[in-house]
């Protein structure tokens, strides 16, 4: 038997903080005597035999592996990758063959929690189908076998972002206050606690791991002395410990987030009235000017139209220029009116930016072929800068539409906005909070766009 008695200082602090929590010390031990578990075994009955002195208010920490074995969640190892696929709901991060995924239990884990350790060679273990239900069954079985009211936590070993090393966490629970919400209370100095929700079930799981060990053949631990964490059958299970995607500021791994940021950018043509944060636009400009450009130049300028007057003056002047172009083309007045109405995307946006190209540092060859190529290099670099800008705006949750109009009346734009003669407007970007999500677009297969030589 491995035995640890702990007198955590924090328990005392918490007793002061959140009222009398009833414990300044607890004992945790890992009993011997549990046989190798096989499919169909009654786990509660086996535990009752190994730990007959369980008492009301104890918390039993049960390694998920023996739960999986009892529940027959064993597969031939040849199926491991298929098993991971089947258990995966969402890929969070991938590096080489290592996959961190959200699994069907809502847990974010390496390889979906499909495990090849502590199981016979050639087999892998899946996590229990519903670990909270497993915990409830063990709790009910122990009540029946021993007449005791104990909390049960099903544990699994997990890595964590930002921290080296593995620790046990709660993946299933019954009769345990899995979260201890101290918000609304005060600390020992009287400061209000506004964010403190303690993951009690995870702390219990980690305490149990200190005595169970990984290879010692002791898959169960008992915590005694913390009866306040044990509660009735109505407590939510360990599922309550899973942070929902909407509240998760770190929903994706780095490379997945980069890829998603690119695909998140879509043309948004309708915006709410909510104002645009000028700071967010400046952050996007800072990202824009990191784009690749020829000869170590920085050919980007951004004119930010932050006043309604400046936007209106520009749009009215551009409309006049456009109407003049259309009349010169011989279009009817009705056709002119119809086309001009389509320009409303800029008029309806709460914020406009006009990206401009400057050719400072361009080479002059004196022959048309190379001078045209030089100009194109700068134009594509301008496009790369605008794309960076739009992607960064999408990262700020701002929608954008890059439209061409200013390119067709550059003199007018320069005059109205008072820009230097060598600033070439490269369209305009309407910016705002999207009125609705863009329409889904089928993924485009890379192969369609590739020629391999």
Ligand X SMILES: Cc1cc2nc3c(=O)[nH]c(=O)nc-3n(C[C@H](O)[C@H](O)[C@H](O)COP(=O)(O)O)c2cc1C
For binding to ligand X (CB under 6 A), which residues are involved?
A: 266-267, 269, 345, 401-404, 427, 438
- Min dist. Cβ of residue 304 to ligand X (A): 19
Q: In the complex with ligand X, which residue's Cβ is closer, 70 or 431? A: 431
- Min dist. Cβ of residue 387 to ligand X (A): 8
Helix, strand, or coil (residue 318): helix
- Min dist. Cβ of residue 451 to ligand X (A): 23
Q: Is 157 annotated as a binding residue?
A: yes
Q: In the complex with ligand X, which residue's Cβ is closer, 45 or 317? A: 317
Q: Is 293 annotated as a binding residue?
A: yes
Q: Which two tokens stand for residue 336?
A: 């002119």
Rounded CA-CA distance 208/214 in Å is 11
Structural Rg of the chain based on CA atoms: 32
- Min dist. Cβ of residue 266 to ligand X (A): 4
Q: In the complex with ligand X, which residue's Cβ is closer, 402 or 423? A: 402
- Whether the Cβ atoms of residue 354 and residue 302 lie closer than 8 Å to each other: yes
- Min dist. Cβ of residue 203 to ligand X (A): 47
Q: Is 111 annotated as a binding residue?
A: no
Rounded CA-CA distance 233/175 in Å is 5
Q: Is 348 annotated as a binding residue?
A: no
> In the chain, what is the straight-line distance between the N-terminal and C-terminal CA atoms, in Å?
66
437 Cβ contact list (under 8 Å, min separation 6): none
Torsion of CA 189, 195, 200, 205, to 10 degrees: -120
Q: Is 115 annotated as a binding residue?
A: yes
Q: Is 248 annotated as a binding residue?
A: no
The CA-CA-CA angle for residues 406, 408, 413, to 5°, reads 40
Q: In the complex with ligand X, which residue's Cβ is closer, 125 or 428? A: 428
Distances (CA, A) of 264 to 63, 194, 258, 267, 348: 40, 33, 10, 10, 22
Q: Is 434 annotated as a binding residue?
A: no
Q: In the complex with ligand X, which residue's Cβ is closer, 425 or 427? A: 427
398 Cβ contact list (under 8 Å, min separation 6): 276, 280, 281, 284, 431, 432, 433
Q: In the complex with ligand X, which residue's Cβ is closer, 294 or 383? A: 383
- Min dist. Cβ of residue 448 to ligand X (A): 16
**Residue 450, phi then psi, degrees to nearest 5:** -120, 140
Q: In the complex with ligand X, which residue's Cβ is closer, 249 or 445? A: 445
Rounded CA-CA distance 77/84 in Å is 11
Q: Is 235 annotated as a binding residue?
A: no
Q: Is 37 annotated as a binding residue?
A: yes
Burial of 345 (0-12, 13-18, 19+ CB in 10 A): middle
- Min dist. Cβ of residue 268 to ligand X (A): 8
Q: Which residue has the tokens 């200082």?
A: 9
Binding residues: 34-37, 64, 69, 115, 118, 156-157, 293, 325, 404, 441
Can you say which residues are annotated as belonging to the binding site for GTP? 34-37, 64, 69, 118
User: Which residues contribute to the annotated binding site for a divalent metal cation?
Assistant: 115, 156-157
Known binding-site positions for FMN: 293, 404, 441
Residues at the annotated binding site for coenzyme F420-(gamma-Glu)n?
325
């Amino acid at each position: 038997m491995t035995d640890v008695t702990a007198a955590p200082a924090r328990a005392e602090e918490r007793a002061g903080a959140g009222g009398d929590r009833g414990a300044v010390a607890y004992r945790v031990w890992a009993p011997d005597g549990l046989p190798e578990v096989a499919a169909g075994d009654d786990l509660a009955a086996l535990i009752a035999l190994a730990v007959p002195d369980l008492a009301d208010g104890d918390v039993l920490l049960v390694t998920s592996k023996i739960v999986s074995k009892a529940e027959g969640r064993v597969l031939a190892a040849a199926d491991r990758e298929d098993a991971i696929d089947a258990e995966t709901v969402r890929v969070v991060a991938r590096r080489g063959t290592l996959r961190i995924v959200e699994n069907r239990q809502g847990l974010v884990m390496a390889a979906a929690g499909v495990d090849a350790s502590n199981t016979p060679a050639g087999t892998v273990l899946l996590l229990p189908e519903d670990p909270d239900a497993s915990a409830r069954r063990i709790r009910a079985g122990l009540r029946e076998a021993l007449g005791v009211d104990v909390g049960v936590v099903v544990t699994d070993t997990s890595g964590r972002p930002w921290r080296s090393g593995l620790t046990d966490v709660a993946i299933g629970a019954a009769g345990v206050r899995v979260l201890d919400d101290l918000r609304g209370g005060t600390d020992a100095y009287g400061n209000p606690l506004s964010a403190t929700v303690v993951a009690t079930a995870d702390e219990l799981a980690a305490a149990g791991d200190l005595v169970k060990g990984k290879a010692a053949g002791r898959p169960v631990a008992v915590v005694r002395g913390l009866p306040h964490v044990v509660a009735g059958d109505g407590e939510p299970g360990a599922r309550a410990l899973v942070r929902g995607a909407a509240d998760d500021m770190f929903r994706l791994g780095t490379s997945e987030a980069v890829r998603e940021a690119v695909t998140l950018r879509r043309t948004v043509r309708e915006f709410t009235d909510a104002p645009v944060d000028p700071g967010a636009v400046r952050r996007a400009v800072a990202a824009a000017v990191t784009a690749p450009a020829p000869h170590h130049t920085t050919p980007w300028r951004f004119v930010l139209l932050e006043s309604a007057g400046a936007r209106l003056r520009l749009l009215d002047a551009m409309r006049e220029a456009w109407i003049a172009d259309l009349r010169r083309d011989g279009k009817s007045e009705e056709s002119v009116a119809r086309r001009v109405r389509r320009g409303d995307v800029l008029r309806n946006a709460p914020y406009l930016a006009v990206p401009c190209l400057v050719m400072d540092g361009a080479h002059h060859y004196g022959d048309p072929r190379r001078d045209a190529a030089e100009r194109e290099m700068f134009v594509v670099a301008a496009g790369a800068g605008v794309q960076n800008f739009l992607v960064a705006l999408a990262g700020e949750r701002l929608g954008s539409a890059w439209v061409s109009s200013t390119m067709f009346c550059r003199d007018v734009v320069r005059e109205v906005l008072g820009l230097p003669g060598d600033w070439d407007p490269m369209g305009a970007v309407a910016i705002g909070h999207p009125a609705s999500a863009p329409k889904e677009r089928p993924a485009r297969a890379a192969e369609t766009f590739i020629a391999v030589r």
